[in-house]
Amino acid sequence: MLLQHLAGGAMSNPLAGTIAERVWLLPILPLIGFVLNVCCR
Amino acid sequence: MTAAYHPGPADPSAVAHDATHGGAARGGHADDHAPAARHRHAWLVSIIGPASVALAFVVAVALFLAMPGEMTTPFIKTFFSWMPVGPELQINWAFQLDQLSMIMVLVITGVGTLIHIFSIGYMQDDPGYARFFAYMNLFVAFMLVLVLGSSFPVMFVGWEGVGLCSYLLIGFWFNDAANAYAGLKAFIVNRIGDFGFLTAMFLIWASVGSLDFTTVAAHAGSLTVGGPVVTTICLLLFLGCAGKSAQIPLYVWLPDAMAGPTPVSALIHAATMVTAGVYLVARTSFLFAVAPAASLTVAVIGAVTALFAATIGLKQWDIKKVLAYSTVSQLGYMFIGVGVGAYVAGMFHLMTHAFFKALLFLGAGSVIYAMHRAYHATHSHEDAQDMRNMGGLRRAMPITFVMMWIATLAIAGIPFFAGFFSKDEILGAVFQRAQGSTLAQASWLGIPGSVVLYVVYVFGLVGALLTAIYMTRLMLYTFHGPNRTGAREFEHLREAPWTMTGPIVLLGVLSAIGGAINLPAFLHLPTGATGILDRWLDPVVGAPALAIARGTTSELPSGTELLLVGLAVVIAVTGVLIAVARCRPAALVPKRDARPSEGVERVLENKYYVDELYDRVVISPVVGGSRFVLWKGIDAGLIDGLFVNGSAWLARGFGAVGSWLQSGQVGAYAWAFVIGVIAVLGAITFR
């Protein structure tokens, strides 16, 4: 089945309510590293 | 030391040595030469830099464990409305988590963590230590935005962000003009590709009315198969891919990008950023599946690039340049895979390539690090990256030696290393599609698709032969035979610290066993052990792949498949044997004593003079046109001369006439009055 054909909302997804809600952590963590390293310069 | 770019890692003695001898600039700032000591916050940066990426990897693993393999709908997390442009265009800042983005997230954060750890040792005494890790962290953040974006615009933010970081890191030692120009070259060439990406976005919105991946995918079925709109969209998207992933004709920036520190080459210009184009084709597979001509174009460009870059790799002496052309070539294989609709095979090779190419670059970095320290210990100015100055390093660097051989066997396609499975899957898919698929029935520039695909298959095979040759050559000249560094220098050659060898060993393990993630059916292993990646990615790319294969899930007949595998193995082994027979490390002389190459060798060493050709055909005319037409003609002549200065001259002229008339002599005014009256009366009389 073509996954993208089904524009499923977050609430109907098996990942809803799991750690996937914190997916924003992925880019934020290295971004924090960037900011701190700039401060260390 | 090459004139083209900075050769290697930083160490205190190197800085002092460069400064003393007026050598190439090392640091990014004018005062970087002064302190030969470590960065004052080096210990803190050594924690923050790698830990921030390692924590992201921990989150990625947690997400992976939470994600059910059979999940059929993407998880989309919307954070805020980014561009609410009326009812017709609503773009949200949202991330899309599915099996495809999950694979990329694991590769980026996993391999990224290892390369960050390696960088602790490699960059330890560079004055720009904190700046380096800041850029590397920023790159990882943007790369994650690129793969997680749920729409074209969000992906484009990451796409541009990684381009910016690539520019900053290529020119990291920007006091050397060659490094700064290399960064600029990468930036400008990528803008050409970005033009394609942006125009494709505009066309998608005009024809579908949305830029979200899920919505566009839902409407892809309504597009005319092979129609001009979807074909144009896919070709424009591929133009963006060609820029980012260094494919013909936009590959020229990647070899020059080796001007950056070696960990940058490993992370950005081998394992992650340059594979963004492959990811984009897989992400938009629902479009490419209904554009057979565009898909064939992807496969053809990939095949030509794979072969072309491999031939150049045969005659490079700079160890990083060999690996750079190898990367261009292997990216070509990935595009062959996604071009023929074997999206899983393309992504599989993306993964295995991330392992063994990151290892090869880190291994090369370890070698350069050792060479550099040895030369500085003896105050020598020899080139630390030229393989003619190496040789016999296996005795001094046994761990790097063994690990790089594992990576070499993997990239060469020797059973049963990781690259063997992924490359074999791509070539098998090409052969299968040539026998029956929508691509075989389509035509490309008037040539039947099946013929095109068989040619692509042959190019892939020849490319595999050349890959085995140039990689074996690299290993023979670097690690085997007598040492050519120098007797005194050899005493200073030694293995790198554990922060550098540790990541190399881990990547060595992944290069050896990474193929297990998608073992082929012909191995007759228990169900569940084979095709793991096939099943994992099926919800995302299964339908487009099936559409291209015309609904047939059957694989090649067992006998045919074994024959193709056997042929690929024979070719890989033959390539290794040819290199062993032809390359004689004992007969090689150091770079300073080497004769200039001649004939075909010279052409290959000079990369077919493509840079020179681009300079004559594109750059010089554009610069000349800009200088003489746009600058001196339009800017200086028309705008400055006619409009700005001309209007000033005109105003001054009117002012001069006015001031002449306003003389203050009443007699002159009376004469003017009389002449005026006569003129008016004359006009009334004689009209």
User: Quick one: pLDDT at residue B378?
Assistant: 94
Above pLDDT 90, what percent of chain B? 86
For chain A, first and last CA: distance in Å? 50
Cα–Cα distance, B406 to B417 (Å, whole number): 8
pLDDT in tens, B519-537: 998 888 887 899 999 999 9
Residue range B642-646: average pLDDT? 95
* Alpha helix segments (H runs only) across B442-529: 449-479, 487-490, 498-513
Residue A1's nearest CA partner among B438, B223, B218, B225 is B218
Helix (H) or strand (E) holding B262: helix B262-266
pLDDT in tens, B558-581: 889 999 999 999 999 999 999 999
pLDDT band (50, 70, 90) for residue B553: low
The residue with greater pLDDT, B664 or B258, is B258
pLDDT band (50, 70, 90) for residue B31: very low
pLDDT band (50, 70, 90) for residue B41: confident
Tell me, what DSSP letter sits at residue B250?
S
CA distances from B549 to B194, B598, B659 (A): 31, 47, 86
Calculate the average pLDDT of chain B: 92
User: Quick one: pLDDT at residue B13?
Assistant: 37
User: Quick one: pLDDT at residue B612?
Assistant: 96
Which residue type sits at B593? D
Tokens of B235: 């070709």
Cα–Cα distance, B215 to B76 (Å, whole number): 12
pLDDT band (50, 70, 90) for residue B55: very high
Exposed e or buried b for every residue in B232-262, given b needs 16+ CB within 10 A?
A: bbbbbbbbbbbbbbbbbebbbbbbbbbbbbb
Residue B11 scores a pLDDT above 60: no
Question: Do residues B477 and B387 lie in contact, with contact meaning Cβ atoms separated by under 8 Å?
Answer: yes
With beta carbons under 8 A apart, name residues in chain B contacting A40. Answer: 39, 41, 44-45, 48, 130
Cα–Cα distance, B127 to B605 (Å, whole number): 34
A13-18 contact pairs (CB < 8 A, 24+):
A13/B71, A13/B73, A13/B74, A13/B75, A13/B76, A14/B68, A14/B71, A15/B66, A15/B67, A15/B71, A15/B75, A15/B97, A16/B75, A18/B66
Query: B66 to chain A nearest CA, in Å?
Result: 7
With beta carbons under 8 A apart, name residues in chain A contacting B68. Answer: 14
pLDDT in tens, B248-295: 999 999 999 999 999 999 999 999 999 999 999 999 999 999 999 999
Tokens of B403: 């690990």
Interface of B with A in 235-274 (CB under 8 A): none
Residue B442 scores a pLDDT above 50: yes
Residue range B67-79: average pLDDT? 93
User: Quick one: pLDDT at residue B471?
Assistant: 98
Chain A CB within 8 Å of residue B53 CB: yes
* Interchain pair B540, A3: CB under 8 A: yes
pLDDT in tens, B122-165: 999 899 999 999 999 999 999 999 999 999 999 999 999 999 99
DSSP string, B32-68: GSS--SPPTTHHHHHHHHHHHHHHHHHHHHHHHHHS-
User: Quick one: pLDDT at residue B15?
Assistant: 40
Exposed e or buried b for every residue in B177-201, given b needs 16+ CB within 10 A?
A: ebbbbbbbbbbebbeebbebbebbb
Question: Do residues A23 and B147 lie in contact, with contact meaning Cβ atoms separated by under 8 Å?
Answer: no
User: Quick one: pLDDT at residue B527?
Assistant: 79
pLDDT band (50, 70, 90) for residue B687: confident
Measure CB to CB from residue B73 to each of A13, A27, A29 and give the nearest one: A13
pLDDT band (50, 70, 90) for residue B5: very low
pLDDT in tens, A1-41: 344 444 444 557 999 999 999 999 999 999 999 999 999 87
pLDDT in tens, B453-494: 999 999 999 999 999 999 999 999 999 999 999 999 999 999
Cα–Cα distance, B235 to B233 (Å, whole number): 6
Cα–Cα distance, B549 to B345 (Å, whole number): 14
User: Quick one: pLDDT at residue B664?
Assistant: 87
Residue range B432-446: average pLDDT? 93
Interface of B with A in 555-574 (CB under 8 A): none
Residue B17 scores a pLDDT above 60: no
Residue B250's nearest CA partner among B313, B190, B322 is B190
Query: B582 to chain A nearest CA, in Å?
Result: 47
DSSP string, chain A: --GGGS---GGGSTTTTSGGGGTTHHHHHHHHHHHHHHHH-
With beta carbons under 8 A apart, name residues in chain A contacting B142. Answer: 27
In this prediction, the answer to ipTM > 0.85 reads: yes
Residue B457's nearest CA partner among B251, B300, B577 is B300
Give the up-direction half-sphere exposure of residue B678: CA atoms within 13 A in the CB hemisphere. 6
Chain A CB within 8 Å of residue B287 CB: no
Query: A12 to chain B nearest CA, in Å?
Result: 9
Give the pTM.
0.89
Residue B515 scores a pLDDT above 70: yes
Residue range B8-29: average pLDDT? 38
User: Quick one: pLDDT at residue B526?
Assistant: 86
User: Quick one: pLDDT at residue B530?
Assistant: 92
Question: Do residues B394 and B483 lie in contact, with contact meaning Cβ atoms separated by under 8 Å?
Answer: no
Question: Do residues B69 and B99 lie in contact, with contact meaning Cβ atoms separated by under 8 Å?
Answer: yes
pLDDT in tens, B307-321: 999 999 999 999 999
Interface of B with A in 627-686 (CB under 8 A): none
pLDDT in tens, B201-225: 999 999 999 999 999 999 998 889 9
Cα–Cα distance, B52 to B90 (Å, whole number): 33
* Interchain pair A29, B286: CB under 8 A: no
Residue B14's nearest CA partner among B371, B289, B271 is B371
Query: A17 to chain B nearest CA, in Å?
Result: 11
Residue where the block lists tokens 């174009």: B297
Residue where the block lists tokens 């595999």: B464
Above pLDDT 70, what percent of chain B? 94
CA nearest to A18 within chain B = B66
CA distances from B386 to B264, B371, B392, B485, B643 (A): 19, 10, 14, 10, 56
CA nearest to A32 within chain B = B52
pLDDT band (50, 70, 90) for residue B552: low
pLDDT band (50, 70, 90) for residue B29: very low
* Interchain pair B48, A37: CB under 8 A: yes
Tally the residues of chain B: 687
Query: A14 to chain B nearest CA, in Å?
Result: 7
* Cis, peptide link before residue B416, omega less than 30° from 0: yes
Neighbours of B16 (CB within 10 A): 14
The residue with greater pLDDT, B142 or B7, is B142
User: Quick one: pLDDT at residue B636?
Assistant: 94
* Interchain pair A30, B41: CB under 8 A: no
